[in-house]
Amino acid sequence: MMREQRMLAILWGAGLWFGGSGVHAWQFPNLFTVPIQPSQKFSQGSTAKSGGYSHTHTLPGSLQKQAVLDAVSGTNNGKTATPNQQQTVLRRVRELEQSFPPFRLADASQAARLDGIWYLQYTSPSTVGDNNNNNNNNSEDAWQPSYATEGDSRIETRPFQARGTVSAAGIRVDTANKVVQQILDVSNARVANDVVLEWGRVYVAGSFRPSDMVPNRAVVSFDTAEITVAQQGGTEKGWKIQLGWFFWILSKIRGTTENGWLETTFVDDTLRIGRGNKGTLFVLTRDVDAVQP
């Protein structure tokens, strides 16, 4: 009986992570760049403190992408990344982000590039070490969001400092060496996060809309949560817990269904970079094997 109670507590915490405390993949991933000029009616979006987006390539685009993949390889989804590795990842990501202006999610032809399945390969804070370290936050690789609370949505922005981990309500779910999918259905404005764990699966989904304030930001409203405790031999069948009702209760308490956002700061056919409302950096790929674990 105690084992079942402990498992239920873990599953409950896993479900809360995706909705109540904000988005991480998809903190949505995520949740998420096409070389075009952003509309003048929008802010340039979230930028480095060194001053916006530069259009000067330090390396050709393909080499910049490979440098990011090489930097995140061998870090177990960021879990075992050393401070030096984290700084290298941040530097390589900023070089890529600064080489292309952010795309506009409201433009259907550009947003279509997000469509389909992405695999989370790296998750880590957008700073190294203590988030209150002024020297760290003033680094040229530091990232600061614009309009972080998204106006009346009052989205939580307290930094999430764990690496290779998702967390809420004091309970953490380790994603190191796990298959973590983010599925984007752009035509229906839906997003889903699917995490396969040793004991089963966590699936959370919701709707999203383009931000009115930042052109490359998706504002997310989760409405579905399903946790499966697998039977022996697989993760598709087993004991299922439906927790979608929790998001409804949360929306009544907060006065809004919106509970997170994800900016896409780079995306092409194979690689996507995301920045979440809690400051988390996400690196996602189309190919599950694009990064060495």
Q: What CA–CA distance (Å, rounded) separates 206 from 288?
A: 23
Record the pTM. Answer: 0.76
pLDDT at 16 over 90: no
In sequence order, what are the residues at sequence separation of 6 or more whose Cβ sits closer than 8 angstroms to the Cβ of residue 240? 226, 227, 228, 229
For residue 130, name the pLDDT band (cuts at 50, 70, 90).
Answer: low
* Per-residue pLDDT at 167: 44
* Per-residue pLDDT at 25: 37
| 282, 68 contact by CB (below 8 A) | no
- Could you tell me which residue, 236 or 113, shows the higher pLDDT? 113
Please compute the mean of the pLDDT values over residues 277-282 and round it to a whole number. 88
Q: What percent of the chain has pLDDT over 70?
A: 66
Domains of the chain: 2-285 (2.40.128.280)
- Render pLDDT for 31-42 as a digit per residue (tens, 0 to 9): 333 333 333 232
Q: What CA–CA distance (Å, rounded) separates 45 from 52?
A: 9
- Render pLDDT for 158-170 as a digit per residue (tens, 0 to 9): 665 566 665 433 3
Mean pLDDT of the chain: 75
